[in-house]
Amino acid sequence: MKKPKGFTLIEIVVTMVIIAAVAVLVIPKMIGQVRKAQEAEAVQNLGSIRSAELLLHHFFGRFVEAADEASIGSALGLLVNGNFFKYHIADATEENFLAVATPVEPWDNWLEEIRIDKNGFIGYPSGEGEKSGSSAGSGGASSSGSGSSGGYSSGRRGSDGSVGGGGGGRVSYGTVTAYYTITEKPITDATFAAPTELQLTPNDGWIVLNFKGNTNADGYQILRCNNVDIQAGEVEVCTVITGNTVWQSPTWADNPVIDGSDVCYRAQSLKQVDGRWIVSEESGRVCGRPAPNADYEAKTEAAIETLLSNTQSFSSVIEPPAANAVPRTPGTWEDVVRSLTGNNIPILFAKMHDVQITNLRSEISLGGYNPLNKTIVINDKYANAPKEMIAAILVHEGLHQMWGKDWDDGAKLYGRPPDNWTPPADFVAPRSRNSRKQEYNSFVGGSQVWAALKSRIAEPLNSNAIQLRDMLNDQQADFLDTQGNPHLFSEAGVTQFFSMMTGYKNLPDY
268/279 Cα distance (integer angstroms)? 6
Mean pLDDT of 420-448: 67
| Residue (of 201, 402, 220) closest to 319 by Cα position | 402
Statement to judge: residues 193 and 279 lie in one domain: yes
Mean pLDDT of 481-487: 78
**Is pLDDT above 50 for 417?**
no
Statement to judge: residues 239 and 338 lie in one domain: no
Instruction: Examine residue 409 and state whether it is found in any structural domain, yes or no.
Output: yes
83/103 Cα distance (integer angstroms)? 9
476-507 residues labelled b (16+ CB within 10 A) or e (exposed): bbbbbeeeeebbebeeebbbbbbbbbebbeeb
Instruction: Examine residue 365 and state whether it is found in any structural domain, yes or no.
Output: no
Sequence-distant (6+) residues with CB within 8 A of 383 are: 295, 296, 299, 349
Reported for 131-134, long-range contacts at CB under 8 A and 24+ positions apart, including other chains, are 132/160, 132/162
pLDDT tens digit sequence for 193-205: 999 999 999 999 9
DSSP 319: P
What single-letter amino acid sits at 410? G
- Yes or no: say if 395 and 449 are a contact pair by the CB < 8 Å rule: yes
* pLDDT at residue 510 in the model: 59
Statement to judge: residues 306 and 429 lie in one domain: yes
Statement to judge: residues 454 and 334 lie in one domain: yes
Statement to judge: residues 283 and 303 lie in one domain: no
Statement to judge: residues 269 and 308 lie in one domain: no
pTM, full prediction: 0.63
Statement to judge: residues 17 and 105 lie in one domain: yes
* pLDDT at residue 234 in the model: 83
Bridging pattern class, strands 276-279 and 187-188: parallel
Mean pLDDT of 263-289: 93
CATH classification at residue 184: 2.60.40.10
pLDDT tens digit sequence for 144-166: 222 223 333 322 233 222 222 23
pLDDT band at 122 (very low <50, low <70, confident <90, very high): confident
- Yes or no: say if 112 and 126 are a contact pair by the CB < 8 Å rule: yes
| Residue (of 80, 377, 61) closest to 200 by Cα position | 377
Q: Judge residue 78's burial from the number of C-beta atoms within 10 Å of its C-beta, 0-12 exposed, 13-18 middle, 19 or more buried.
A: buried
Of 138, 160, 193, the residue at which a domain comes to its end is 138
Instruction: Examine residue 354 and state whether it is found in any structural domain, yes or no.
Output: no
Instruction: Examine residue 256 and state whether it is found in any structural domain, yes or no.
Output: yes
Mean pLDDT (the chain) is 75
Most confident range, picked from 251-265, 347-361, 475-489: 251-265
Instruction: Examine residue 4 and state whether it is found in any structural domain, yes or no.
Output: no
Q: Which helix (H) or strand (E) holds 268?
A: strand 263-273
pLDDT band at 482 (very low <50, low <70, confident <90, very high): confident
Mean pLDDT of 198-221: 92
For the chain, what is the total number of helices (H) and then of strands (E)? 8, 21
Mean pLDDT of 265-294: 93
pLDDT band at 389 (very low <50, low <70, confident <90, very high): very high
More confident of the two residues 185 and 24: 185
Statement to judge: residues 328 and 281 lie in one domain: no
The whole domain housing 63 covers 9-138
In sign, the C-alpha dihedral spanning 430, 433, 436, 440 is positive
* pLDDT at residue 506 in the model: 60
Mean pLDDT of 369-385: 90
How many separate domains does the chain show? 3
Instruction: Examine residue 18 and state whether it is found in any structural domain, yes or no.
Output: yes
Statement to judge: residues 255 and 328 lie in one domain: no
**Is pLDDT above 60 for 467?**
yes
More confident of the two residues 184 and 22: 184
**Is pLDDT above 60 for 174?**
no
Question: Which segment of 67-71, 142-146, 477-481 scores lowest on mean pLDDT?
Answer: 142-146
Sequence-distant (6+) residues with CB within 8 A of 489 are: 142, 144, 145, 146, 147, 440, 497
Instruction: Examine residue 491 and state whether it is found in any structural domain, yes or no.
Output: yes
